[in-house]
């Protein structure tokens, strides 16, 4: 008797859990509940019908497989798994980006270490790359004046955001560690990934505002 109730209740439990899943905002929780629901459906198909419903079983298994795959991608996007030590430092310094968004940004960026005094931008020239100096100092020369900018700072963000030529000539000291992003690739990423655009523009704007406040 008890076994019979459990057997017949399976499909209702599966459907209820699927309905509950649809009320969840968090994709991971939603998908985890759908996995439980799908497993109950599979159990139902195996133990309840008199004949084996192979077609239903097949598509439910496909459903389960795709869902598990998407969950794995979500977990990967939310973890800092496989970031190098420098990337971890940069990730912490930037903040505001999810690990997945950060990884997408790093795919189009290049790590550099300056061998001598290396000029990143020249005053009045088009900004073709945006930089983030993680370690080392930068010298900013503007209308005959010079100032030193410490590490953990964007360079070229003003021209990039305002679509204007570089407002200063910037040189990094020997040994400085920085990332450079080609403007064309950054713009393509901003179009493809609106959430990254919002987060990145916010970071660049707050960096620019901090420089203005300090000037
Ligand atoms: N007063 C300042 N303080 C710090 N950094 C500056 C200052 N002025 C210009 N810069 C940086 O130098 C860069 C020159 O190119 P951008 O104008 O694109 O962006 C500028 C900033 O990143």
pLDDT in tens, the chain (215 residues): 777 777 789 999 999 999 999 999 999 999 999 999 999 999 999 988 889 999 999 999 999 999 999 999 999 888 877 788 899 999 999 888 888 899 999 999 999 999 999 999 999 999 999 999 999 999 999 988 999 999 999 999 999 999 999 999 999 999 999 999 999 999 999 999 999 999 999 999 999 999 988 87
- In 3D space, the residue among 186, 124, 134 whose CA is nearest the CA of residue 155 turns out to be 134
Q: How far is the CA of 188 from the centre of ligand 1 (A)?
A: 23
pLDDT of residue 96: 80
Please list the alpha-helical segments (H only) found in the chain. 2-22, 27-47, 54-78, 85-94, 99-107, 157-162, 183-192, 194-214
pLDDT of amino acid 1: 72
User: What own/partner pairs with CB < 8 Å and gap ≥ 24 does 12-21 have?
Assistant: 13/40, 14/38, 14/40, 14/41, 14/44
Q: Per DSSP, what are the bridge partners of residue 146? A: 141
Alpha-carbon gap, residue 17 to 67, rounded angstroms: 15
43 Cα–ligand 1 center, Å: 63
What integer pLDDT is reported at residue 144 of this predicted model? 87
**Cβ-contact 137, 151 below 8 angstroms:** yes
**182 - beta bridge partners?**
129
The CA distance from 163 to 142, in Å, is 18
Q: What's the rounded Cα separation, in Å, for the pair 31 and 60?
A: 14
Distance CA 59, CA 49 (A): 16
Cα of 177 vs centre of ligand 1, distance in Å, is: 18
Task: Give 108 Cα–ligand 1 centroid separation in angstroms.
Answer: 22
pTM exceeding 0.80: no
* For the CA of 138, the nearest atom of ligand 1: 5
- Ligand 1 is surrounded, with C-beta below 6 A, by 121, 127, 140, 142, 147, 149, 154-159, 166-168, 170, 211, 215
Report yes or no: 118 and 173 within 8 Å, Cβ to Cβ: no
**Closest Cα to atom 11 of ligand 1:** 155
Q: What is the 153 CA–ligand 1 centroid distance (Å)?
A: 10
CA-proximal residue: ligand 1, atom 15 (nearest): 166
pLDDT score recorded for residue 3:
72
């Amino acid at each position: 008797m008890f076994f019979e109730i459990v057997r017949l209740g399976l499909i209702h439990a599966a459907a209820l859990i699927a309905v509950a899943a649809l009320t969840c905002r968090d994709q991971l929780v939603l998908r985890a509940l759908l996995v439980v629901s799908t497993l109950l459906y599979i159990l139902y198909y195996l133990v309840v019908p008199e004949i084996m419903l192979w077609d239903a079983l097949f598509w439910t298994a496909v459903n389960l497989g795709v869902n598990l795959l998407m969950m794995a991608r979500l977990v990967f996007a939310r973890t800092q798994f496989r970031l190098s030590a420098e990337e971890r430092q940069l990730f912490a310094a930037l903040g505001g980006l999810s690990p997945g968004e950060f990884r997408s940004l790093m795919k189009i960026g290049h790590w550099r270490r300056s061998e001598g005094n290396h000029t990143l931008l020249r005053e009045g020239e088009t900004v073709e790359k945006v930089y983030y100096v993680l370690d080392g100092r930068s010298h900013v020369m503007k209308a005959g004046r010079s100032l030193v900018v410490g590490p953990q700072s964007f360079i070229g963000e003003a021209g990039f955001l305002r679509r204007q030529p570089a407002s200063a000539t910037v040189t990094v000291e020997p040994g400085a560690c920085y990332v450079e992003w080609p403007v064309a690739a950054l713009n393509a990423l901003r179009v493809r990934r609106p959430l990254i655009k919002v987060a990145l523009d916010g970071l660049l704007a707050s960096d620019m505002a901090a420089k203005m406040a300090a000037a």
